[in-house]
C-alpha cells in the first residue's frame, strides 16, 4: 500500500492461503490493513491540525491538536492539550474521544506532574471518562480512561471490567491493553 500524496510505503504483506475460505482471508487482510494504517492516519491528522491557526479549528481538529500536545508528556503541554480538549467538547458536546482525552490529562497530571492534585483531579477524571463511555459505549479510549481512573480510585474489580471492555472494543488499541495491564497489576 502506497500513500498517494507522498509515494511513501505504508504497508505490504504476502498471503499464501488455501482459497477454500476466501472470506476469512478477506477479513484478515481488512484487519491487517486497518491496523497498519491507523497510526499513520492519526499522526497525519495531528500534523495537519498542528498547522492550522487555532481560531479556525473545529472539534475534530481541536482534538488532534490536543493529542499532539498530550503526546509530549510535559506539564505545560498537558495543560495545552487540556485546553484543546475542552474546546473540542465546547464545539461538540457529544465528542466522546475528546472527553476521554480530557480525563487522561487529569490522570497524567496526578501521576506524572502533580501528585498533590489527586484530590481535585481524580473526580474530574472519573466524571469525564464516565461521560465519554456514556456518549459512546464502543470507544476503547473512553473505557481505557475509565479503567485507569477506577484503579486510581481503588475500585479494582470495576477497573478490570472496563479494561476488558476496552480491549474487546479495539484489539489494536495500545491504550486499552495498557489499561488492562494496569488493572491486572492493581
Quote the domain boundaries for residue 107. Answer: 19-185
Tell me the CATH number at 103: 1.25.40.10
The answer to whether residue 6 sits within a structural domain is no
pLDDT of residue 81 exceeding 50: yes
Number of folded domains that form the chain? 1
The answer to whether residue 89 sits within a structural domain is yes
Average pLDDT over residues 68-79: 93
The answer to whether residue 29 sits within a structural domain is yes
Give me the pLDDT at residue 186, please. 84
Given pLDDT bands bounded at 50, 70 and 90, which one contains residue 11?
A: low
44 vs 12 pLDDT, higher one = 12
Q: Are 111 and 125 in contact (CB under 8 A)?
A: no
Given pLDDT bands bounded at 50, 70 and 90, which one contains residue 33?
A: confident
Cα–Cα–Cα angle for 108, 113, 117, rounded to 5 degrees = 80
Pick from 53-57, 131-135, 168-172: least confident: 53-57
Give me the pLDDT at residue 108, please. 95
Residue 154 φ/ψ region, left for φ over 0, alpha for ψ in the -120 to 50 degree band, beta for the rest = left
Counting residues of the chain whose pLDDT is more than 90, the rounded percentage is 61
C-alpha cell, 162: 472496563
The answer to whether residue 106 sits within a structural domain is yes
Cα–Cα distance measured from residue 7 to residue 177, given in angstroms and rounded to the nearest whole number: 32
Counting residues of the chain whose pLDDT is more than 70, the rounded percentage is 83
The answer to whether residue 54 sits within a structural domain is yes
- Global pTM reads 0.71
Residues forming a β-bridge with 146 = none
The answer to whether residue 59 sits within a structural domain is yes
Secondary element (H or E) of residue 114: none
Query: Residue 91 burial (CB < 10 Å; 0-12/13-18/19+)?
Result: middle
The answer to whether residue 14 sits within a structural domain is no
Q: Which three-class secondary structure state does DSSP give residue 8?
A: coil
The answer to whether residue 3 sits within a structural domain is no
Cα–Cα distance measured from residue 93 to residue 121, given in angstroms and rounded to the nearest whole number: 20
Residues 6+ apart with CB under 8 A from 28: 15
Amino acid at each position: 500500500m502506497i500513500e498517494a500524496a507522498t509515494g511513501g510505503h505504508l504497508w505490504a504483506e504476502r498471503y499464501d492461503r488455501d482459497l477454500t475460505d476466501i472470506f476469512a482471508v478477506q477479513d484478515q487482510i481488512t484487519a491487517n490493513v486497518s491496523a497498519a494504517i491507523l497510526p499513520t492516519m492519526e499522526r497525519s491528522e495531528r500534523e495537519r491540525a498542528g498547522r492550522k491557526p487555532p481560531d479556525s479549528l473545529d472539534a475534530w481538529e481541536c482534538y488532534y491538536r490536543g493529542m499532539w500536545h498530550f503526546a509530549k508528556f510535559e506539564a505545560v503541554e498537558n495543560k495545552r492539550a487540556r485546553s484543546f480538549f475542552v474546546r473540542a467538547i465546547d464545539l461538540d458536546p457529544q465528542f466522546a474521544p475528546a472527553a476521554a482525552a480530557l480525563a487522561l490529562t487529569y490522570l497524567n497530571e496526578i501521576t506524572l506532574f502533580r501528585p498533590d492534585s489527586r484530590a481535585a483531579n481524580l473526580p474530574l477524571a472519573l466524571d469525564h471518562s464516565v461521560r465519554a463511555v456514556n456518549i459512546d459505549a464502543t470507544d476503547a479510549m473512553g473505557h481505557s480512561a475509565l479503567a485507569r481512573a477506577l484503579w486510581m480510585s481503588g475500585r479494582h474489580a470495576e477497573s478490570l471490567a472496563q479494561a476488558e471492555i476496552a480491549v474487546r472494543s479495539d484489539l489494536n488499541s495500545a491504550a486499552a491493553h495498557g489499561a488492562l495491564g494496569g488493572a491486572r497489576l492493581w
